[in-house]
Amino acid sequence: MNKVAVGVNGYGVIGKRVADAILMQPDMELVGVADIATDWRIASVANRLPIFAATEDARLAMTVAGLRPRGTLDELVELSDIIIDTTPKHVAAGNLERYRTAGVKAVFQGGESHATTGHSFVAQANYDSALGRDTTRVVSCNTTSIVRVLGALDTAGLLLRARGVLIRRATDPWESHLGGIMNTMVPEPSIPSHQGPDAQTVLPGLDLVTIAAKGAHTQTHNHYWTIQLTRPATRDEVIAALRAAPRIAFIRISDGLVALNSTIELMRDLGRPRGDMWEVAVWEDLVTVQGDEVFLTYQVYNEAIVIPETIDAIRALTKLAPDAASSMAITDSTLGMRKDFLSAQLP
């Protein structure tokens, strides 16, 4: 099989997950990961991953730390057919010209603006329009979840308009010592929050407004949606529309999955890498329909949900797979994605 050579620039929350997912793909080869860190973050994987220094300074520091980098970012770019840039917000956009000059394709993350690449990506929504492009941008965790869930209702012809309240996690778990949000809630300073317009970069027709706030917890986002349907519908119809869409998995309060932490613990018990949940977890027994309105509650694992999209974006840009279905089939089976986490179906 023709393997695509993939380099990952930035070995942080997203980068390390992307690297591991690439290692699981039969049609991709991980040629290296680049970063500037020289501590446990890189030392813990230096024996199993090809490490590159993102800068000349980092190369010196890594060498001093005994990490033996194989080269710098320029050399990683040269070895790669495509670069996944998971460096911090705005750092990534600054790398765009370097990738263009080197003639390498590039996938950016949701921290960058739509304008950086001119294309925003969610596999099930618009894989086709990314086919063969030089660059795309995998939208953020919250936006990905919105496109999956509202897109499912839209595909079923049920969505008229949606209004959502997004309670975001305070900070990422690994950065919690830097200070997060304790014992309070922090509303975003404007309505709509950015996730609504961001989802429209993928599904321009959606009528949606998002209101966001940060909560005093570090793991996963939590969305509460009020959705007006195009017509009165039954609860079964709504559930069927969600079930028909990929990468949405049902959970139930009646199964004891009563809060964000119980789902997180289940992922650990299932042996998921890092306890990740790539699916959007919709509480099936909270799906409530009143006439032409549906109320939805779901959980978004912000560290993990964009990983499958990033893998599919690689296939779209490099034309490794001709359509979303064939790419997603490989991604979902290699990662072990599920359609539900109901007790009757576990493990």
Contact positions vs a second copy (CB under 8 A): 163, 165, 167, 181-187, 189-192, 209, 211, 213, 215-219, 222, 224, 226, 253, 258-261, 264, 283, 285-286, 288, 290, 293, 295, 297
Of 70 and 194, nearer to a second copy (C-beta) is 194
The distance between the two most distant Cα atoms of the chain, rounded to a whole number of Å, is 66
2 among annotated binding-site residues:
no
Of 101 and 290, nearer to a second copy (C-beta) is 290
Of 131 and 239, nearer to a second copy (C-beta) is 239
**CA nearest 137: which of 153, 126, 152, 145?**
126
- Helices 306-318 and 141-155: crossing angle in degrees, nearest 10, is 80
The Cα–Cα gap between 14 and 136 comes to 16
302 among annotated binding-site residues:
yes
DSSP state of 308: H
179: how many CB neighbours lie within 10 A of its CB? Answer: 9
**CA nearest 122: which of 144, 106, 103, 104?**
144
Location of structure tokens 């089976």: 333
- The least distance separating a second copy from the CB of residue 97, rounded to whole angstroms, comes to 36
- The least distance separating a second copy from the CB of residue 164, rounded to whole angstroms, comes to 9
How distant is the alpha carbon of residue 107 from its chain centre? 12
Of 207 and 237, nearer to a second copy (C-beta) is 207
Find the length of the chain.
347
- The least distance separating a second copy from the CB of residue 273, rounded to whole angstroms, comes to 21
Residue of 141, 233, 238, 300 marked active site: 141
* Cβ 76 vs Cβ 7: under 8 Å: yes
CA-to-CA dists, residue 7 to 10, 28, 31, 133, 150, angstroms: 10, 10, 5, 17, 32
Question: What contacts 229, CB < 8 A, 6 or more positions away?
Answer: 153, 158, 159, 160, 238, 292, 293, 294
**CA nearest 192: which of 170, 154, 164, 150?**
164
290: how many CB neighbours lie within 10 A of its CB? Answer: 9
Annotation says 141 is catalytic: yes
- Tokens for 81, please give them: 């057919």
- The least distance separating a second copy from the CB of residue 211, rounded to whole angstroms, comes to 5
Of 139 and 287, nearer to a second copy (C-beta) is 287
* Catalytic site positions: 141
Q: Which residues are known binding-site members for NAD(+)? A: 35, 302
